[in-house]
Amino acid sequence: MSNGGGFSPQNRIQFAAGTEIFHEGQDADAAFLVLEGEVEVRKRTDDGHKVMATLGNGDVLGEMALFGGDVRSADAVALTDTKAFRLSRADFESRLAGTDAVLRRMVSILFARLRDATHELARLRGDDA
């Protein structure tokens, strides 16, 4: 695609260091591809929070939102000034609809397995996810 691989300018977002990108319990309607910067994914605990991952250039966060994740399971905070591409669930579904039916089915199955594994891991750790 001529527009940077489909990264349209209106979907590029900048977050200043310390900015919350999304928070646990918030409606999940989009995923983010980190183009530049560093983002921390945190799970809330009784003592504050636990760092689940630190993501950087080329990493994706909030991907469960693309396949019907109802609410965010963690907080995401920009550690540095961060540029990201926001992909809404509707835009993802539109892009996916233009692909082969077999590929669509495989992606759907993989996301279902990822969602199940994420819930099982949270259960085993004693999280409320």
Q: Residue 2: what pLDDT? A: 35
Q: Residue 20: what pLDDT? A: 97
Instruction: Specify which residues 13 forms β-bridges with.
Output: 84
Q: Residue 60: what pLDDT? A: 95
Examine residue 1 and state whether it is found in any structural domain, yes or no: no
- Amino acid identity, position 8: S
Q: Residue 7: what pLDDT? A: 63
Q: Residue 17: what pLDDT? A: 98
Question: HSE (CB half, 13 Å, CA atoms) of 125?
Answer: 13
What CATH number did the domain enclosing 86 receive? 2.60.120.10
Regions of the chain with pLDDT less than 70? 1-7, 69, 127-129
Q: Residue 56: what pLDDT? A: 97
Examine residue 3 and state whether it is found in any structural domain, yes or no: no
Enclosing domain of residue 85: 9-125
Q: Residue 77: what pLDDT? A: 98
User: Do the Cβ atoms of 89 and 30 come closer than 8 Å?
Assistant: yes
Number of domains into which the chain is organized = 1
